[in-house]
């Protein structure tokens, strides 16, 4: 968030004061660039490791405050937006020698501490781009981490957009989901990598970071499933873009920029272009108390904090973010790569980092200014294609040729990355280990996304979606304990989740969502035919506004039809005349056992599932219970 004590801007006076600090920071940064007040004799790398907390059933566990209390004294840990997320801020390392293995060990050591704290709370830690077992109701505001800065962020976004967050993402399946807060963004879990950049190289290096984003992401995808839907290979990209988009409908029409952005053009002159553009395009969301006089600090040769600039920068989500910071009293510039997902293992993450870091140096040495070799829109389109399709796509490269993503990575980019790491004098053993992981992963076409999807497609043939997602999550945790790269994992098995219990299952997790419906005015003959064609016994009936008003059964349709054909006047008979009106329903957040009790008590064959607005979202049928029962008996055997 840039500062621990940020708050929403509630008055014009607060806004004006913050804007003044923001302008002062820009002027100060401009002066520092002109006078060469930045560190140039060292190049550091850094990383931020986000992770999720899950309970014994592999569902989100909102325990990050309790975790922080147990980890008190370790400054590398911090909270995230949702109570089931946390972050480790790795120590900066000089980009040379064994920097990568040092960083890997530090992250693993801190994850071990997190595992120990989690064990004492009866929960688990997992690295994953999107937690497979997330449910829609996990994003109610009770799961917001109870710190002022998170409330302030949600409040500010709501003021601009309103409490209406629609997700619409299409992949193998299609997700259309409505939420009432930007907390849905917390479904994303990333591994951000930082690289310190010399000011006079910043323009070329930033443009390179944009150009290589697509192939690096294609080799690293790990977020294919959200709410049980198989979507993009890296669904985080679409989810993040839609969840914190502060534009309303009018602003969409005026082509205002989304707050999550890849950008619209190459950088031309300096880092100042990015900050100025972000101030012009994006309204101030947050402010913080600032007592610093940046010009007085510059007069004494002290690097200013530029806190207003940091706070505003933290609310603009560029996939490659320009950052200002201070290390050992000296100001520096860096680029933060925000596209990489967390997991599947720390070893995989460090391989991703090595690939990106090596390419940054290697591409710069070979090509320098790339803007004359590739149109920006090509780089942007590459990024979108890699997000959707991962390695199953073609990408344009700087030679103006199109390559299969795998061929581009294996034959062009890995050699460039190796050359870049060698220039930085990274140890040969580390180069071979980490880039070898990328090579094997791409050759086998086995990223985290591919592993999850193959596991899902195998298991869904014999189990409920809820059980499959829990098994994938359990298997992920088990593999992470051994830090084995994902291309060497075997596919998940149902037995990986030995503690699965249907009593803990929610209706949303096992209900049928492909529901066929009828309108009140539809004739009985048509609905009867629909049931026969689809081999179903129940049809929900909606009114013109799409609200559930009734339920039709095959037996009911048959009786009504037989009675009707014997009448002398055969006027059309509508479903609305014979349906069960205002049928009993259940909420998607109810427990499996509640649905079972209702259906057993009233001898129902099905139970419509409706949300808080009486919208039909699914159906619980006898068939759902049969699948769960079968799996239970299989485990007992």
The CATH number covering residue 529 comes to: 3.10.580.10
The verdict on 528 and 410 lying in the same domain is no
Residue among 66, 63, 52, 56 nearest 134 (CA): 52
Per-residue pLDDT at 439 exceeds 80: yes
Give residue 266's pLDDT.
98
Per-residue pLDDT at 69 exceeds 50: yes
In Å, how far from its chain's centre is CA 623? 33
Q: Which DSSP helix (H) or strand (E) runs through 226?
A: strand 225-226
The verdict on 423 and 525 lying in the same domain is no
**Taking a C-beta distance cutoff of 8 angstroms, is the pair 238, 389 a contact?**
no
Inter-axis angle of helices 346-367 and 99-121, nearest 10? 150
Cα pseudo-dihedral 235, 240, 241, 246, rounded to 10: 160
Give residue 629's pLDDT.
63
**Burial (CB count within 10 angstroms: exposed 0-12, middle 13-18, buried 19+), residue 186:** buried
Confidence of residue 635 (pLDDT cuts 50, 70, 90): low
Which residue pairs from 113-122 have beta carbons closer than 8 angstroms and sit at least 24 positions apart in sequence?
113/71, 113/74, 114/51, 114/67, 114/71, 114/77, 114/86, 114/88, 117/67, 117/70, 117/71, 118/53, 118/63, 118/67, 120/70, 121/61, 121/63, 121/66, 121/67, 121/70, 122/55, 122/56
The verdict on 271 and 353 lying in the same domain is yes
Per-residue pLDDT at 566 exceeds 80: no
The verdict on 393 and 526 lying in the same domain is no
Give residue 46's pLDDT.
98
**Residue 622 vs residue 172, higher pLDDT:** 172
**Taking a C-beta distance cutoff of 8 angstroms, is the pair 153, 286 a contact?**
yes
Kindly state whether residue 606 falls inside one of the protein's structural domains.
yes
Per-residue pLDDT at 35 exceeds 50: yes
Give residue 564's pLDDT.
63
Q: How far is Cα 157 from Cα 173, in angstroms, rounded to an integer?
A: 29
DSSP-derived secondary structure letter, 318: E
Give the model confidence (pLDDT) of 332-343 as tens digits.
999 999 999 999
Give residue 249's pLDDT.
47
Per-residue pLDDT at 267 exceeds 70: yes
Joined together, the tokens standing for residue 426 give 């990274």
Stretch 520-536: mean pLDDT: 88
Give residue 251's pLDDT.
44
What are the strands of the beta sheet with 538-542, ordered from one edge?
517-519, 538-542, 548-553, 580-581
Per-residue pLDDT at 389 exceeds 70: yes
Confidence of residue 295 (pLDDT cuts 50, 70, 90): very high
Confidence of residue 252 (pLDDT cuts 50, 70, 90): very low
Inter-axis angle of helices 346-367 and 414-423, nearest 10? 80
Per-residue pLDDT at 431 exceeds 70: yes
Stretch 534-548: mean pLDDT: 87
Per-residue pLDDT at 625 exceeds 90: no
Per-residue pLDDT at 87 exceeds 70: yes
Kindly state whether residue 466 falls inside one of the protein's structural domains.
no
Per-residue pLDDT at 534 exceeds 60: yes
The verdict on 389 and 538 lying in the same domain is no
Per-residue pLDDT at 581 exceeds 50: yes
**Taking a C-beta distance cutoff of 8 angstroms, is the pair 15, 287 a contact?**
yes
Q: How far is Cα 478 from Cα 289, in angstroms, rounded to an integer?
A: 45
Give the model confidence (pLDDT) of 152-180 as tens digits.
888 888 777 666 777 899 999 999 888 77
**Taking a C-beta distance cutoff of 8 angstroms, is the pair 201, 285 a contact?**
no
Q: How far is Cα 77 from Cα 594, in angstroms, rounded to an integer?
A: 39
Stretch 533-556: mean pLDDT: 88
Confidence of residue 446 (pLDDT cuts 50, 70, 90): very high
Q: How far is Cα 340 from Cα 337, in angstroms, rounded to an integer?
A: 7
Residue by residue, DSSP assigns 482-537 as HT--GGGPPPP-GGG-TT--GGG-BHHHHSB----EEETTSBHHHHHHHHHHHT-S
Confidence of residue 256 (pLDDT cuts 50, 70, 90): low
Confidence of residue 555 (pLDDT cuts 50, 70, 90): confident
Buried b (16+ CB within 10 A) or exposed e, 585-614: bbbbbbebeebbebbeeeebebbbbbbeee
Kindly state whether residue 568 falls inside one of the protein's structural domains.
yes
Per-residue pLDDT at 118 exceeds 90: yes
Of 414-418, 484-488, 538-542, the poorest mean pLDDT is in 538-542
**Taking a C-beta distance cutoff of 8 angstroms, is the pair 24, 31 a contact?**
no
Q: How far is Cα 448 from Cα 129, in angstroms, rounded to an integer?
A: 9
| Average pLDDT score over the chain | 90
Kindly state whether residue 453 falls inside one of the protein's structural domains.
no
Give residue 250's pLDDT.
47
**Taking a C-beta distance cutoff of 8 angstroms, is the pair 215, 221 a contact?**
no
**pTM, whole model, 2 decimals?**
0.88
The verdict on 409 and 530 lying in the same domain is no
Kindly state whether residue 268 falls inside one of the protein's structural domains.
yes
Per-residue pLDDT at 459 exceeds 50: yes
Stretch 16-29: mean pLDDT: 95
Kindly state whether residue 499 falls inside one of the protein's structural domains.
no
Per-residue pLDDT at 636 exceeds 80: no
**Burial (CB count within 10 angstroms: exposed 0-12, middle 13-18, buried 19+), residue 108:** middle
In this structure, what are the phi and psi dihedrals at residue 620, rounded to the nearest 5 degrees? -100, 125
Domain end residue (candidates: 424, 444, 464): 444
Please name the residue ranges forming H helices in 81-212: 99-121, 148-161, 202-211
Domain end residue (candidates: 401, 426, 444): 444
The verdict on 520 and 414 lying in the same domain is no
Domain range holding 536? 507-636
Domain end residue (candidates: 403, 418, 444): 444
**Residue 480 vs residue 242, higher pLDDT:** 480
Per-residue pLDDT at 419 exceeds 70: yes
Per-residue pLDDT at 111 exceeds 50: yes
The verdict on 202 and 310 lying in the same domain is yes
Stretch 42-47: mean pLDDT: 97
SS (H, E, C) 273-304: HHHHHHHHHCCCCEEECCCCCHHHHHHCCCCC
Task: Please give the angle made by the CA atoms of 78, 190 and 475, to the nearest 5 degrees.
Answer: 100
Kindly state whether residue 501 falls inside one of the protein's structural domains.
no
Kindly state whether residue 159 falls inside one of the protein's structural domains.
yes
Per-residue pLDDT at 623 exceeds 70: yes
Confidence of residue 410 (pLDDT cuts 50, 70, 90): very high
**Taking a C-beta distance cutoff of 8 angstroms, is the pair 553, 536 a contact?**
no
The verdict on 322 and 247 lying in the same domain is yes
The verdict on 409 and 266 lying in the same domain is yes
Stretch 552-569: mean pLDDT: 72
For residue 201, CA distances in Å to 196, 279, 446 come to: 11, 23, 35
Q: How far is Cα 220 from Cα 348, in angstroms, rounded to an integer?
A: 8
CATH of the domain at 224: 3.30.590.20
Give residue 561's pLDDT.
66
Residues 6 or more apart whose CB falls under 8 angstroms from that of 102 comprise 93
For residue 122, CA distances in Å to 61, 72, 81, 118, 475 come to: 10, 18, 22, 6, 18
The verdict on 85 and 218 lying in the same domain is yes
The verdict on 274 and 423 lying in the same domain is yes
Residues 6 or more apart whose CB falls under 8 angstroms from that of 336 comprise 192, 193, 194, 320, 321, 322, 323
Per-residue pLDDT at 513 exceeds 60: yes
Residue among 566, 107, 110 nearest 349 (CA): 107
Q: Which residues pair with 87 in a beta bridge?
A: 50, 78
Give residue 558's pLDDT.
75
Total count of domains within the chain: 2
Cis peptide before 396 (omega within 30 of 0): no
Stretch 426-446: mean pLDDT: 98
């Amino acid at each position: 968030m840039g500062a621990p004590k940020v708050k929403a801007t509630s008055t014009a006076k607060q806004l004006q004061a913050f804007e003044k600090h923001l302008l002062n920071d820009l002027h100060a940064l401009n002066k520092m660039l002109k006078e060469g007040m930045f560190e140039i004799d060292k190049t550091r790398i850094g990383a931020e490791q986000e992770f999720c907390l899950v309970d014994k059933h592999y569902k989100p566990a909102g325990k990050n405050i309790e975790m922080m209390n147990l980890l008190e004294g370790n400054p590398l840990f911090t909270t995230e937006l949702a109570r089931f997320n946390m972050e480790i801020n790795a120590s900066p390392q000089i980009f040379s020698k064994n920097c990568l293995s040092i960083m890997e060990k530090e992250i693993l050591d801190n994850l071990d501490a997190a595992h120990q704290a989690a064990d004492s709370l009866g929960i688990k830690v997992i690295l994953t781009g999107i937690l497979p077992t997330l449910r829609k109701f996990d994003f109610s505001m009770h799961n917001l981490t109870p710190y002022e800065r998170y409330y302030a962020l949600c409040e500010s976004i709501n003021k601009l957009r309103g409490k209406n967050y629609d997700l619409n993402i299409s992949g193998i399946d299609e997700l259309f989901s409505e939420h009432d807060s930007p907390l849905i963004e917390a479904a994303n879990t990333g591994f951000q990598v930082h690289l310190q950049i010399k000011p006079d190289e910043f323009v070329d290096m930033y443009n390179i970071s944009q150009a290589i984003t697509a192939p690096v992401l294609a080799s690293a995808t790990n977020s294919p499933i959200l709410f049980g839907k198989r979507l993009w290979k890296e669904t985080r990209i679409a989810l993040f873009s839609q969840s914190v988009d502060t534009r309303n409908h009018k602003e969409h029409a005026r082509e205002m920029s989304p707050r999550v952005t890849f950008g619209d053009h190459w950088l031309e002159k300096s880092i100042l272009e990015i900050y100025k553009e972000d101030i012009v395009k994006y309204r101030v969301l947050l402010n913080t108390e600032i007592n610093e006089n940046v010009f007085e600090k510059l007069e004494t040769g002290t690097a200013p904090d530029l806190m207003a600039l940091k706070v505003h920068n933290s609310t603009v989500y560029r996939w490659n973010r320009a950052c200002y910071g201070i290390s050992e009293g000296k100001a520096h510039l860096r680029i933060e790569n925000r596209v990489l997902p967390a997991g599947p293992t720390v070893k995989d993450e460090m391989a991703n980092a090595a690939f990106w870091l090596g390419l940054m140096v290697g591409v710069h040495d070979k090509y320098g200014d790339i803007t004359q070799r590739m149109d920006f829109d090509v780089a942007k389109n590459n990024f979108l294609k890699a997000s959707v399709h991962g390695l199953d796509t073609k990408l344009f490269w700087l030679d103006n040729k199109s390559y299969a993503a795998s061929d581009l990575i294996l034959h062009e980019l890995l050699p460039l990355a190796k050359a870049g790491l060698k220039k930085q004098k990274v140890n040969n053993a580390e180069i071979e280990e980490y880039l070898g992981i990328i090579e094997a992963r791409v050759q086998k076409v086995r990223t985290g996304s591919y592993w999850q999807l193959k596991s899902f497609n195998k298991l869904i043939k014999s189990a409920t979606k809820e059980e499959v997602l829990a098994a994938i999550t359990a298997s992920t945790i088990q593999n992470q304990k051994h830090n084995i790269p994902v291309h060497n994992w075997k596919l998940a098995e149902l037995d990986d989740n030995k503690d699965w219990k249907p009593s803990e299952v929610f209706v949303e997790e096992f209900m049928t969502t492909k529901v066929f419906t009828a309108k009140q005015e539809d004739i009985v003959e048509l609905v009867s035919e629909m049931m026969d064609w689809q081999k179903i016994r129940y049809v929900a009936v909606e009114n013109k506004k799409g609200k559930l008003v009734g339920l039709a059964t095959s037996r009911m349709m048959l009786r009504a039809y037989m009675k009707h054909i014997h009448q002398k006047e055969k006027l059309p008979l509508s479903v609305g005349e014979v349906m069960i009106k205002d049928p009993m329903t259940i909420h998607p957040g109810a427990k499996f056992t509640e649905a079972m009790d209702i259906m057993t008590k009233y001898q129902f064959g099905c139970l419509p599932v409706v949300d808080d607005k009486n919208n039909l979202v699914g159906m619980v049928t006898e068939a759902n219970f049969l699948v769960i029962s079968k799996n239970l008996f299989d485990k007992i055997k």
